[in-house]
């Protein structure tokens, strides 16, 4: 248990109808009560009260809710104060809480205390941030699954199996004169293989996890004037890019987030890829090439009323979709029977079809939308370490290596897996996870 009582604004800075200030720690009730002119608070009851300055003058009318330990988010005494959402008024109320004995919270400190008090494992703590930052329905759903323990539970199953294997192996360390009997080698080997498969199955969600958390890097390419900027504007629903019939209008890459087909796309409009003497345009084209090289999805836009213009092939590993724009104009015969999503930015037609096509391209890497829980970069790193150690342990087991060597590999796998949920809590992992949290969380 932490000795200090922390306070911070839990809602974002800025003006709103209400703001929520949060207190957590052993003095949470007394600090809040002092700030409220001595009014006592009952657990789980919202209490209307006035925050008073030292001289008794009213700073604000608020509603305070007290959650007595351990039945609170952090596991400590917590008080949430809803005050009016002005910048100055929240500052005054917060200052009053500090004057009454609270100290300012560090970013992520509420969640860190929740973790330290066993209220959350690390994957659930990370899920809270994923929920806050989710940019699409699928990302939100995956984060909610993670908060319900979808990743932690799977890791725990693997850990339980491995602890069993480690216990057997340890038994043989104590009797060095005995070899591990072949039947035991077989069964332990089978358990290790199952653990490796479970780890690999989680690892396979990493790519989907990146797409959900960071968004699908989507690059719009095509010859000048085919309607790339018009497509960007149509998809976003507002004029983000300049549309002009003068080729080379878009000189820089423009990036904008967009929710389409349940996914978050990071839409990048590129300077038209074409030869130009203009140094500014050439610079823009270099950026386009770089954006293209890192793309997850390339939308190749063509003008369906004109003959096809060859485009460079999409980068390896990226999906591509042919988008035939200007479908309101007569189709050029060269496109007859060619697959491609026909849209008209001028008429605002084809957004749905494009969304569907993108969704079906990525659903495979995202798994089934209803069950997906996708690991993040930190988890992936730990899983790779675990997989590697498991491979070594199994090879050692079948090669008749001494049990204490196998035990070292097993413990490396156990530590790596344990670091995912925070069972093995090294300070640097905790610092890394919680430092990415926002203040008041």
- Residues lying near ligand GDP in the complex (CB under 6 A): 222, 224-230, 243-245, 249-250, 272, 325-326, 328-329, 344-346
Residues 244 and 436: their CA atoms lie apart, in Å, by 42
158 or 229: whose CB is closer to ligand GDP?
Answer: 229
Least distance to ligand GDP, CB of residue 333, Å: 18
SS3 (DSSP) at 33: helix
| Residues whose CB is less than 8 angstroms from the CB of residue 318 and which lie 6 or more positions away in sequence, other chains included | 295, 296, 297, 298
344 or 419: whose CB is closer to ligand GDP?
Answer: 344
CA atoms within 13 A on the CB side of 46: 6
Taking alpha carbons only, the member of 339, 283, 336 closest to residue 305 is 336
Least distance to ligand GDP, CB of residue 2, Å: 56
Least distance to ligand GDP, CB of residue 263, Å: 23
260 or 345: whose CB is closer to ligand GDP?
Answer: 345
Least distance to ligand GDP, CB of residue 275, Å: 15
Least distance to ligand GDP, CB of residue 240, Å: 11
170 or 249: whose CB is closer to ligand GDP?
Answer: 249
142 or 254: whose CB is closer to ligand GDP?
Answer: 254
191 or 305: whose CB is closer to ligand GDP?
Answer: 305
CA 397 to chain centre: 38
231 or 264: whose CB is closer to ligand GDP?
Answer: 231
174 or 245: whose CB is closer to ligand GDP?
Answer: 245
Residues 130 and 193: their CA atoms lie apart, in Å, by 32
Does the CA dihedral 203-208-214-217 come out positive or negative?
positive
Determine whether 136 is exposed, middle or buried from the number of CB atoms within 10 Å of its CB (0-12, 13-18, 19+): buried
For every residue of 251-315, DSSP letters joined together read: -S-EEEEEEETTEEEEEEE----S--S-HHHHHHHHHHHHHHHT-SEEEEEEETTS-----PPPP
241 or 393: whose CB is closer to ligand GDP?
Answer: 241
Whether omega for the bond prior to residue 85 falls within 30 degrees of 0, making it cis, is no
Query: How many helices (H) and strands (E) would you count in the chain?
Result: 14, 12
Least distance to ligand GDP, CB of residue 215, Å: 21
Least distance to ligand GDP, CB of residue 349, Å: 8
Least distance to ligand GDP, CB of residue 361, Å: 22
| Residues whose CB is less than 8 angstroms from the CB of residue 246 and which lie 6 or more positions away in sequence, other chains included | none
| Residues whose CB is less than 8 angstroms from the CB of residue 27 and which lie 6 or more positions away in sequence, other chains included | 5, 77, 101, 102
Least distance to ligand GDP, CB of residue 341, Å: 13
């Amino acid at each position: 248990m932490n000795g200090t009582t922390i306070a911070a604004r839990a809602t974002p800075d800025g003006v709103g109808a209400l703001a929520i200030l949060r207190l957590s720690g052993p003095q949470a009730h007394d600090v809040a009560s002092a700030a409220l002119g001595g009014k006592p608070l009952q657990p789980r009851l919202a209490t209307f009260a006035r925050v008073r300055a030292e001289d008794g003058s009213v700073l604000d009318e608020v509603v305070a809710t007290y959650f007595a330990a351990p039945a609170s988010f952090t596991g400590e005494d917590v008080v949430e104060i809803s005050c009016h959402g002005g910048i100055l008024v929240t500052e005054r109320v917060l200052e009053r809480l500090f004057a009454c004995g609270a100290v300012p919270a560090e970013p992520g400190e509420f969640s860190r205390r929740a973790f330290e008090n066993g209220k959350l494992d690390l994957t659930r703590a990370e899920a809270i941030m994923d929920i806050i930052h989710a940019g699409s329905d699928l990302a939100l759903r995956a984060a909610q699954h993670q908060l319900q323990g979808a990743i932690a539970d799977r890791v725990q199953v693997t850990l339980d199996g491995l602890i069993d294997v480690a216990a057997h192996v340890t038994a043989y360390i104590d009797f060095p004169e005995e070899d591990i009997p072949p039947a035991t080698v077989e069964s332990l080997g089978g358990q290790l293989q199952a653990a490796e498969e479970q780890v690999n199955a989680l690892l396979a969600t990493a790519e989907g996890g990146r797409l959900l958390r960071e968004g699908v890097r989507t690059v719009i390419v095509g010859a000048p004037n085919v309607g790339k900027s018009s497509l960007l504007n149509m998809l976003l629903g507002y004029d983000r890019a300049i549309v002009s019939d003068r080729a080379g209008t878009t000189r820089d890459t423009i990036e904008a987030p967009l929710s389409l087909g349940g996914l978050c796309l990071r839409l990048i409009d590129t300077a038209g890829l074409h030869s130009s003497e203009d140094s500014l345009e050439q610079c823009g084209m270099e950026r386009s090439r770089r954006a293209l090289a890192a793309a997850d999805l390339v939308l190749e836009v063509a003008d369906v009323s004109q003959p096809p213009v060859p485009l460079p092939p999409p980068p390896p590993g990226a999906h591509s979709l042919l988008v035939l724009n200007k479908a309101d104009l007569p189709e050029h015969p060269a496109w007859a029977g060619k697959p491609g999503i026909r849209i008209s930015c001028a008429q605002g037609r084809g957004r749905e079809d494009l969304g569907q096509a993108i969704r079906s391209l990525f659903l495979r890497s995202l798994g089934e939308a209803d069950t997906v829980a996708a690991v993040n970069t930190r988890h992936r790193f730990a899983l790779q370490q675990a997989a590697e150690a498991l491979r070594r342990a199994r090879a050692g087991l079948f090669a008749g290596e001494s049990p204490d060597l196998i035990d070292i590999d097993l413990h490396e796998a156990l530590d790596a897996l344990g670091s995912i949920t925070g069972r093995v809590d090294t300070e640097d992992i905790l610092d890394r996870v919680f430092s990415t949290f926002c203040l008041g969380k």
